[in-house]
């Protein structure tokens, strides 16, 4: 059988994929690049406990709240336009964040970057359907996309730590600008604009209520963890839950809903999306807390902390690249089981770390859990895009990416708030965070030791809760997913 040689169109498609991967890498990387930079930002801007959490996860919530809306907008009005506009705004937000003089302005700049990131991810994934009409090539391209997205999350802390060794904290944002500039130059020549594939208008009420509901719910949880239960925290949390319920009910009444909940009738699709959310929640929370542990508890320099994160990053990325071939051999059911149980095992390996040491346990934990994290990226992307017709690729891809981004933000918000609550209850009560406590003038050695011990206990609590959730999901997959569940989803013809 004679195989045709690659045509110019084929070469252009792969070059277009390379162009798209630049923004994809930036958006995922910026979800984690601050994990090792927080101590430096804390010393420079002196944010409070609540501001620190918003600096971290305001970006993730802006991305996650708007991904589905922009996936629909790109399907309806044109993906290339949205990609170009989003990349330009992402660059502007990065420059503003790099030179932000106050915590409030840094939070605002991070939110702007999140809005721009929400325009990039679903359109970038949907563009692959236009670049690669051949199902096999499209499946390979989606695998590369998923691996790049995973690599961004994994290398973010490493790159951030290496930059901070030589430059000030703003350098972790300025690194985005050359990639954005290159993309804006080459994208118009390599990518095609496709529009009018999404019927109907985007429901603005749904966009607003989904974002407001998420923000109110998380705000209430953060206030309760940081300051204790109060009328304002409870009211905000309940209001957020109510808005989200109303949002879900509204989607069932719309001819063209923002989220097509009928996709979740498929048990495998539902498990895949949950497998996109929970692992990112566990990974983001433990990576954030571990960055503080290594630097503020053990006193490790930022460069060494970055290098210690490298084995886990390599394990995650390598697993994501290899996962499609492995799933072909063992099937999705087995892959989901390996995913959840390996993450649970890795998280439990966090429990032996202590105030006096635990570097080896930390590295082993990230490597073992990294296998499960890599599987989660590959399974979610493949299932979401393969389950829908091409004209819904943007919206369905957005659901997959939303599960990742919301998981990333929820991990810091919920598990990070749990750790903050433990610190508030068991710490010396001199300041709301470990770093703020250690910076107090004239701090007694006993108070410093108590603060470090309380932080490590909070880290253990967050890791244990996340591990138990993964064990429960793994057990549920073992009982509820059919044994006949096969390999990757079939990528449909365009």
Q: pLDDT tens-digit profile of 243-280?
A: 989 988 898 888 777 777 777 777 777 777 788 788 88
Residue 457: the pLDDT is: 94
Residue 396: the pLDDT is: 60
Q: For residues 70 and 374, which has the higher predicted lDDT (pLDDT)?
A: 374
pLDDT, tens digit, for every residue of 345-365?
A: 999 999 999 998 889 999 999
Q: Quick one: pLDDT band at residue 4, thresholds 50, 70, 90?
A: very low
Q: For residues 441 and 351, which has the higher predicted lDDT (pLDDT)?
A: 351
pLDDT, tens digit, for every residue of 72-113?
A: 677 666 677 778 888 899 899 999 998 988 888 999 998 898
pLDDT, tens digit, for every residue of 40-50?
A: 888 888 887 66
Q: Quick one: pLDDT band at residue 8, thresholds 50, 70, 90?
A: very low
pLDDT, tens digit, for every residue of 302-317?
A: 778 878 888 888 888 7
Which one of 120-124, 139-143, 336-340 scores highest in mean pLDDT? 336-340
What is the 3-class SS of the chain, one letter each residue? CCCCCCCHHHHHHHHHHHHHHHHHHHHHHCCCCCCCCHHHHHHHHCCCHHHHHHHHHHHHHHHHHHHHHHHHHHHHHCHHHHHHHHHHHHHHHHHHHHCCCCHHHHHHHHHHHHHHHHHHHHHHHHHHHHHCCCHHHHHHHHHHHHHHHHHHHHHHHHHHHHHHHHCCCCHHHHCHHHHHHHHHHHHHHHCCCCCCCCCCCCCHHHHHHHHHHHHHHHHHHHHHHHHCCCHHHHHHHHHHHHHHHHHHHHHHHCCCCCCCHHHHHCHHHHHHHHHHHHHHHHHHHHHHHHHHHHHHHCCCCHHHHHHHCHHHHHHHHHHHHHHHHHHHHHHHHHHHHHHHHHHHHHHHCCCCCECCECHHHHHHHHHHHHHHHHHHHHHHHHHHHHCCCHHHHHHHHHHHHHHHHHHHHHHHHHHHHHHHHHHHHHCCCCCCCHHHHHCCCCCCHHHHHHHHHHHHHHHHHHHHHHHHHHHHHHHHHHHHCCCCCCCCCCCCCC
Q: Quick one: pLDDT band at residue 383, thresholds 50, 70, 90?
A: low
């Amino acid at each position: 059988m004679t195989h045709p040689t690659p045509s110019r169109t084929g070469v252009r498609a792969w070059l277009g994929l390379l162009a798209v991967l630049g923004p994809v890498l930036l958006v995922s990387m910026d979800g984690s690049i601050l994990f090792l930079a927080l101590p430096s930002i804390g010393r420079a801007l002196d944010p409070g406990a609540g501001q620190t959490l918003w600096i971290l996860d305001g970006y993730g919530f802006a991305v996650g709240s708007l991904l589905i809306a922009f996936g629909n907008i790109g399907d309806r009005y044109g993906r290339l336009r949205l990609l170009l506009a989003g990349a330009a705004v992402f660059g502007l937000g990065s420059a503003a964040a790099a030179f932000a003089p106050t915590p409030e302005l840094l939070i605002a700049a991070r939110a702007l970057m999140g809005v721009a990131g929400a325009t990039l991810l679903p359109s970038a994934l949907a563009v692959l359907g236009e670049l690669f009409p051949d199902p096999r090539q499209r499946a390979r391209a989606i695998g590369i996309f998923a691996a790049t997205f995973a690599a961004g999350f994994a290398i973010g802390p490493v790159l951030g730590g290496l930059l901070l060794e030589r430059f000030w904290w703003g350098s972790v944002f300025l690194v985005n600008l050359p990639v954005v500039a290159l993309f804006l130059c080459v994208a118009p020549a390599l990518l095609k604009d496709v529009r009018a594939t999404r019927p109907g208008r985007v429901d603005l009420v749904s966009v607003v209520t989904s974002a407001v509901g998420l923000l109110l719910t998380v705000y209430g949880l953060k206030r309760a963890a940081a300051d204790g239960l109060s009328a304002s925290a409870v009211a905000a949390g309940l209001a957020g839950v109510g808005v989200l319920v109303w949002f879900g009910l509204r989607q069932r009444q719309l001819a063209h809903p923002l989220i097509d909940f009928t996709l979740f009738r498929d048990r495998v699709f539902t498990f895949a999306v949950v497998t996109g959310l929970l692992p990112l929640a566990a990974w983001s929370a433990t990576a954030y807390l571990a960055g503080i542990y290594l630097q503020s508890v053990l006193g490790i320099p930022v460069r060494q902390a970055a290098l210690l994160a490298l084995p886990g990053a390599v394990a995650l990325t390598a697993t994501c690249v290899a996962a499609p071939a492995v799933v072909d051999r063992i099937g999705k059911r087995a892959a989901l089981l390996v995913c959840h149980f390996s993450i649970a095992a890795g998280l439990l390996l966090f429990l032996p770390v202590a105030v006096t040491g635990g570097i080896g346990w930390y590295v082993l934990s990230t490597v073992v859990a990294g296998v499960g994290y890599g599987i989660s990226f590959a399974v979610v992307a493949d299932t979401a895009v393969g389950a829908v017709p091409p004209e819904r690729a943007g919206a369905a891809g957005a659901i997959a990416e939303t599960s990742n981004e919301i998981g990333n933000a929820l991990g810091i918000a919920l598990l990070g708030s749990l750790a903050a609550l433990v610190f508030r209850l068991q710490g010396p009560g001199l300041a709301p965070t470990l770093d703020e406590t250690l910076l107090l003038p004239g701090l007694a050695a006993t108070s410093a030791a108590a603060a470090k011990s309380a932080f490590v206990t909070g880290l253990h609590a967050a890791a244990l809760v996340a591990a138990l959730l993964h064990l429960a999901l793994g057990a549920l997959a073992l009982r509820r997913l059919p044994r006949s569940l096969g390999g990757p989803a079939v990528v449909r013809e365009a």
